[in-house]
Every structure is written in C-alpha cells, then in structure tokens.
Structure 1
Amino acid sequence: MTTHTKLASACVIDDTARLVTEHYAFPEIAGQLAGLLQRRLAEGAYDVDGAEELAGLVTTDLQSVNGDQHLSLKYHADQVPPKQGAAVMGAMRRDFDTSLGGVPRVELLDEGVAVVELAPMLFPLEWTAQALSAALTLASRARALIVDLRANLGGDPDTVAFICSYLLDERTHLNTMYWGERERTEQSWTLPHVPGARFGGSKPLYVLSSSQTFSAAEELAYDLQQLGRAVVVGEPTRGGAHPRDGWTVHPHLEVSIPVGRAINPVSGTNWEGVGVQPDVPCPAADCLERAHALALARLTG
C-alpha cells in the first residue's frame, strides 16, 4: 500500500470520526465510534487501496456498536460532488417521473378491496401530494384498502403524515422526532384537512411489508400499526428509524449519519434495528393474496 493511499484513508477516517462526533443523534455512542475508528486506523485495518473496500470496512465498524443501518460510509462509483444535493435530487426526480409520482399501482380487487402501491419511495410532499391525493381519493370509495409498501425504501416523514391523514378520521399525533445536534423535539400530526376524500378511520386497512421496506415506509407501517389502525401483513422490515444526512469525505465516499431519532407516542420507542414486526407473518410474495383473503373474511364475516 502506498503512503499516498494511507494518507487518503487517514483523512477519510479523521473526517468521518469528526462528523459522527458533531452530528450523530446519539452523542454517547458517537464518542465510542470515533474512538473505534481511530483505533482501527492505528491498527492498520483500513490499509486498503480501494475506496469501495474502505467503505465496506468502515461501515461494518460504524454499525458494530448499535447496529444503526443509517450510519455508514457509502461508496459511489461516480464521483460525488462536494454538495450532493443536486445529484441526489436529480436521481430522485427520475425515479419520481418513472413511477407515476410514487404511486405505480392503483387497482380494484374482488368485493371492493382496493390496492394502492407506494414505490419506490415516499417522495418529497411538494412533489407527490397531487399523485397521492388522486390515488387515495380514488381508493376512498373502497370497502377495504391494502397499502403495498413491499418495494418502498423510505423518504419524507411529511409524506407519511399526509398519507395517514387520509386513513384516520381525527387529527392524530403520529410521531415525535428528537434532533440530537439541535437538542429539540418536533411532533408529527395528521392534517386537519386533506385535498380530496378520506378513506377514513373505520374501514379495514392492511399494510404489506417486506424485508426491503425501509425508513419512512417503515414509519408509515409502524404508525398505523401502533394506533391499531392497520394490520401489517408480510415480512419484518429492515429496521431503520433514524433520519440521515450525508457529507462528502472523498470523491467517491459519502458519510451517512443519522441526525435524529423517532419516538412513537404509543410505544415510546421505534423500529430501529428490529424492524416493523408483521401482525400476520408471511412471505412477501404471498402477502397481497393473504391480505385480500383477510379483507374478504372481515367484510363477509
């Protein structure tokens, strides 16, 4: 390994340790992680030639203390601009445009059971509100509703609140976010009014989950489950409850750091590390059929 590569790795580790210390939502763990990274650097654990290999090693160490999947050193094959916003938003916009605004499927099944699929993510509310309102208003006449989150990788907490507003009758406290660096809390509530028609808070509601369901999509499933509003059908989700931000520390490396943590008003905790546990466990490939059967049984029972 060349001296130049060692110096580059040392700079990446120094910057990563500093950013974790400054921004991680768990200050008591941030110090442990910074110390761990520096010890591993001194031991020669990061003496590798490739940025991708370095990213894997550092990510393993970052997640070794508390298993936080949002805490990582991400490798990007294309160079990461110093300010990532434009590149990230451009890729997100392409996904938005090719998924009908994040609602790729609205379908009516037998006996008035509707399916609304939300994928590949819950896009920023200012983008997706119109598509969501159209889909949920259309589904509002259904006798039962299945919300499919199996392929949803997360997104905007404001979008979670917007969706929940169509699925509940009264203004409801959904979640509280603690922002570590700012040392303040911020509550999330459903909206008093929505454009279009609500499905409401009394008809049967099912949420489909998979091992890929992540982040804000998990919040949507978890919030509705904890309120007793929805039955979650499928697989345990990935277990990422902490909103993240990213910093470029190398042309191909981005440090992803959770800057807040969710606190559910019902459970007093969240789904970090354990995932949302389904009420009706079954393989992801089978859970739409299973949820439809559950809906039919309830409607005809």
Structure 2
Amino acid sequence: MIRFLVLILMTYTGSIAANTAQEIDEIARIVKAQFVSEAVAKKVADDLVKPSFQSKMLTIDDPHEFAKQLTEALRIASGDNHIGVVYSPSDVQRYRVREQAKTSISAQSQQAINRAKEVEESALANFGIQQVRVLDGQVGYLEMSYFDGFVDESAPVFEAAMNMLAGSKAIILDLRRNGGGNSRILPLFLGYFLGPESIHFATKTERWKHTSEQLFTMADVRGHRHFDKPLFILTSGTTFSLAEHVTYHLRAFNRAVVVGERTYGGGKAFDPIIVSDDFYLRMPRVDIVNAITKTMYEEGKGITPDVETTAQAAFYKAYLLALSTLKELNNEAKEFDYEWVKRVVRAQAKTIQTQPTLSAFTGRHRFANYEFEFRQNELWMSYRELPWVKLVNLEHGYFFDDRAIQRQFSFSKTNDGWLLSVYFADRLPEVILEN
C-alpha cells in the first residue's frame, strides 16, 4: 500500500513540474493583456518569462508552494495586494462551468446548482451582516464581516437590518474585521447612506475590455435609508479591498468620519482567471475611481483615519464621538442626557484589560513578516509594516489578533532563539524562527 502511494505521489509531482513552465507563460500572457495598468503589466510579464526566474520555479514540486512563491513574486513586481496564484482544482472546475454556461446549455444546469449552493452558503453567513444593534443614546451599530455579491438575494436581509436602525440618530459602521467582497453590492449598500437621489459615486474602467462605466447608487433600495444621519466607520489594519472602497466613497462625499487604524491598502477589483486544470489567477483588472476625487487610496498604504486610534479602542472612541455629535445637534433638547451615556461608555472603555508580560520576552522581536513588542505590559504586533495592534491575551501563552485575518500566536524559547507559532482556525500552524 505504501509503495502504491509513493508511486502515485511521484507521478503527480512529475506532472506539476512538467506543467510549471507552461503555466508561468500563461500567467505572463494573462497579466500582460489584462492587468489594470498596462505599464506595470508589461514589466511583470517580462519578469515572469526570464529564464532565471523560471529555472527557480521549476525546482518546486509542491503545487501549494509553487502558488505561494509565484504569488509573492507577482505582488513584489506589481505592487498589488490582490494579485495571486491559487492551487485549487475544484475551484478551477467551478469557474470553468461558469464560463461554459455562457454558451453551453448542458453547463447551465450545473452552473445553476453551483450558484444555488453559493447563495445558500452566503445566506447562512447572513450575507456578511454580522451584527445590528441600537445602543444607548439612539446610536445604531452595524457590523459587516464581508460584502456579498448576491444583490437580489441579500436585498431582503439588508432591508431588515436597515429597518432595525430606523430609530437611530447616528450610525457606527464596523469594518474592522472586513476583508472585502464583491463590488456588485456597492450600488445597493451605498444607496442606504448616500441620497436621497441616485448618485454617481464612481467610474469603473476595464482596460482589457476597452470599457468605462459610471456607477450610481440605488435610490429605490428596500427598507429605511440613513443618508441624513451622522456616520462613523471603524477600521483596522486588516480592513481590506471592498471594505476600503466603501470607506473611501462615503468619506469622499463627506458622509462619514473614519475612526481606527490605517487600512491595509488593496484597491483594484479582481476576477478569477483559469490558468490550467490545477491553478487560477486572481487578476486585478477592474479600476474603480471615486466620482468626486477622481482617484482612490494608494495601493499598499490604504486609508488614514480621521481619528487615529487602535482597532480595539475604535468602537468606544466612535461611540463617544457619536454621542457628542448628537448632543451638539440636539443642544436644545432636554429629554435625553447624552453625558449620562458618555460616562457609562467611558467606564466600559476602561475595562479593556492590559496584557501580562511574557517571561524573558522583552524589546522588539521580528519573525519574517511579523514584529512583536511589549509596551507597558501589553503585547503589540505589526504585520508587513502595517499599523501596530494590541493583541488580546487568551492566557496559557496564547495571544489573539481579532481582525479580518484572525490569528493566534504563541512563543517558545530554543537554543537558537525564539520560535513563533501562528495558529489559524482552518489549517496547521506556521512555525517561524526569529530573524
């Protein structure tokens, strides 16, 4: 049995290595033709077809490692945080059926099944609506974990959520743990906060199609609209992609105050493009620019908040700002004491516990893309030079980054230095030796 498995593995590994050069050439062709910037596309494509680069990639037998290293090379060469290669034969098949369904009747039935399954999964995730609450002081709170692309199917859920916020006088939109989503939702979602008329909020350009399209908010969205209320958006260092688009557009129209950390900085919308039976390419080929500013935030630098604070403290900071704003707007009203609520919120904010020290772990320590530092008995972390975030102590030596990409960390001391273990919910931990 063991000999049989070894033979299968040898055959499979040889297949991956044999196809590597062909797959890199195909990726170079796609990038050159479709990447959002023509100048950058040519540079990246030229780098991919260099014999020295291909020789290095030909030594990689494992498909996951091949995709990982190629993704890293593409991101360094392009400066784009969305572009990447993914090894997933099952996803490739799903995307292939989607394309075939445009012309094949037989594929359309399978695509209908696939789409129904995706809608069902999105519905189980509440189409990204994580929390809806009305806080003391008539401040609404809406947390979005991602932005779903099923506009028609999600409309009734958004209607219910927005109706729950009808009695609020200000709204906090929490995007701290939001890693993005599908841009098809923008007209519907922004329609609740921009108005009352339909507004041209952005222009979408696709170089590979030679097309340009103006994007407008939906003025006929179902449920209560909130375009006339103070809006506060919470961000973190892992607020990414479409969550950044929502933040940028609402602030550009002077509709929102952004509170929290500088966002990650992923600006270009991407599509999955099939490379082979095993790999697909996340291709940034859609450029969306704001109608007011005629630009967007810078790739890799993201959005700087109006009020900078840690992701952990952002909620209380925004809540207090909302209460102060409402007190100012309702200065003559005597029926509600906003200062009473503010005293409660300040007390709640102070209950954030400090983190105990990790024995012998002092100063700064770097492990590949991660950097850690103790500050006044609290453990802080920066990933890829992004803003520092205070980690939550889970006790027993574990620390937690509770944002879009949720990770846990532990440390161990060896003769060669410190070892970092990075834990994810859905895969084996990564172990990294200190630089």
The normalised TM-score by structure 2 is 0.64
**Aligned match of 1:80:** 91
2:142 to 116, 125, 136: 116
Distance 2:308 2:61 in 1: 44
More divergent stretch after superposition (260-269 vs 216-225): 260-269
Q: Tell me the SS of whatever aligns to 1:263.
A: strand
2:45 to 34, 49, 56: 34
Unaligned runs of 5+ in 1: none
Q: Given residue 33 of structure 1, which amino acid in structure 2 is its aligned partner?
A: V
**Aligned match of 1:13:** 24
Q: Tell me the SS of whatever aligns to 1:104.
A: strand
The answer as to whether partners of 1:37 and 1:58 remain within 8 angstroms in 2 is no
Structure 2 CA distance for partners of 1:258 and 1:287, relative to 1, 3 Å: same
**Aligned match of 2:307:** 280
- Deviation track 1:239-279 (CA, whole Å, cap 9, x = no partner) reads 22211111233444221111211111222211233212211
Distance 1:181 1:43 in 2: 26
Tell whether 2:215 aligns with 1:188: yes
Structure 2 CA distance for partners of 1:258 and 1:88, relative to 1, 3 Å: farther
- Aligned-pair CA distance for 1:3: 6.8
- Deviation track 1:191-231 (CA, whole Å, cap 9, x = no partner) reads 23222221123x21011112222222211111001111101
- The percentage of counterpart residues that share the same residue type is 29
Q: Which has the higher contact order (CA 8 A, sep 6+)?
A: 1
* RMSD (CA atoms): 2.4
Distance 2:202 2:70 in 1: 31
More divergent stretch after superposition (110-119 vs 150-159): 150-159
Q: Tell me the SS of whatever aligns to 1:233.
A: strand
1:212 to 238, 258, 270: 238
The answer as to whether partners of 2:192 and 2:221 remain within 8 angstroms in 1 is yes
Distance 1:20 1:6 in 2: 22
Q: Tell me the SS of whatever aligns to 1:17.
A: helix
Q: Tell me the SS of whatever aligns to 1:260.
A: strand
Please identify which structure carries the higher strand content.
2
**Aligned match of 2:65:** 53
Structure 2 CA distance for partners of 1:229 and 1:116, relative to 1, 3 Å: same
More divergent stretch after superposition (213-222 vs 271-280): 271-280
**Aligned match of 1:158:** 184
Tell whether 2:234 aligns with 1:222: no
- Aligned-pair CA distance for 1:41: 5.2
Distance 2:211 2:239 in 1: 28
The answer as to whether partners of 1:241 and 1:270 remain within 8 angstroms in 2 is yes
Distance 1:208 1:147 in 2: 6
2:322 to 277, 295, 301: 295
Distance 2:123 2:212 in 1: 34
Structure 2 CA distance for partners of 1:262 and 1:291, relative to 1, 3 Å: same
Unaligned runs of 5+ in 2: 1-9, 99-110, 329-435
Tell whether 2:201 aligns with 1:174: yes
- Deviation track 1:18-63 (CA, whole Å, cap 9, x = no partner) reads 1112221212221211110111555622121111111122112211
The normalised TM-score by structure 1 is 0.90
1:238 to 246, 264, 277: 264
- Aligned-pair CA distance for 1:280: 1.2
- Aligned-pair CA distance for 1:66: 3.4
> Segments of 4+ in structure 1 off by > 6 A?
none
- Aligned-pair CA distance for 1:185: 1.1
- Aligned-pair CA distance for 1:6: 3.8
Q: Given residue 44 of structure 1, which amino acid in structure 2 is its aligned partner?
A: S
Tell whether 2:83 aligns with 1:71: yes
More divergent stretch after superposition (160-169 vs 28-37): 160-169
Aligned length: 299
Q: Tell me the SS of whatever aligns to 2:50.
A: helix
**Aligned match of 1:24:** 35
Distance 1:149 1:89 in 2: 27
The answer as to whether partners of 2:41 and 2:78 remain within 8 angstroms in 1 is no
Q: Tell me the SS of whatever aligns to 2:179.
A: coil
Structure 2 CA distance for partners of 1:150 and 1:205, relative to 1, 3 Å: same
**Aligned match of 1:248:** 274
Q: Tell me the SS of whatever aligns to 2:55.
A: coil
Structure 2 CA distance for partners of 1:178 and 1:252, relative to 1, 3 Å: same
- Aligned-pair CA distance for 1:137: 2.4
Distance 1:43 1:104 in 2: 44
Point out the structure with max Rg over C-alpha: 2
